Amino acid sequence: MTYSENPFSSMASLRFFLCFFLFCGSSLNLVRSHGLPKNHVALFIFGDSLFDPGNNNYFNTTARANYWPYGETFFKYPTGRFCDGRLTSDFIAEYANLPLIPPYLQPGNHQFTYGVNFASAGAGALAETNRGFVWGSLLVFTLVLSWVIDLKTQLSYFKKVEKLLRQKLGDAEAKALISKAVYLTNIGPSDYIAPFTSNSTVLQSFSKEEYVGMVIGNLTDTIKEIYRKGGRKFGFLNIGELGCVPSLKILVAGNTGSCFEEITQLGKLNDVALSKALQELEINLKEFKYAKHHLDISFGERKNNPEKYGFKTADIACCGSGPYRGIPSCGGKRVVTEYELCSDPTEYLFFDSDHLSEKANMQIARLMWSGAPNITGPYNLKALFEA
Q: Each residue of 259-279: pLDDT tens digit? A: 999 999 999 999 999 999 999
Q: What is the pLDDT of residue 199?
A: 77
Reported confidence tier of residue 335, pLDDT bands at 50, 70, 90:
confident
176-205 average pLDDT score: 94
Q: Which residue has the higher pLDDT, 143 or 354?
A: 354
Reported confidence tier of residue 206, pLDDT bands at 50, 70, 90:
very high
Q: What is the pLDDT of residue 55?
A: 98
Q: Which of 89, 150, 321, 355 is catalytic?
A: 355
Q: Which of 49, 120, 190, 329 is catalytic?
A: 49
Pairing of strands 289-293, 233-237: parallel
Q: What is the pLDDT of residue 13?
A: 38
Q: What is the pLDDT of residue 317?
A: 98
Q: What is the CA radius of gyration of the chain?
A: 22
Is 34 one of the annotated active-site residues of the chain? no
Is 352 one of the annotated active-site residues of the chain? yes
Reported confidence tier of residue 132, pLDDT bands at 50, 70, 90:
low
Q: Which residue has the higher pLDDT, 60 or 232?
A: 232
Q: Which residue has the higher pLDDT, 15 or 338?
A: 338
Reported confidence tier of residue 21, pLDDT bands at 50, 70, 90:
very low
Closest CA to 356 of 318, 312, 306, 301: 318
Q: Which of 48, 90, 191, 352 is catalytic?
A: 352
Is 355 one of the annotated active-site residues of the chain? yes
Burial 64-89 (b: 16+ CB within 10 A, else e): bbbeebbbbbebeebbbbbbbbbbbb
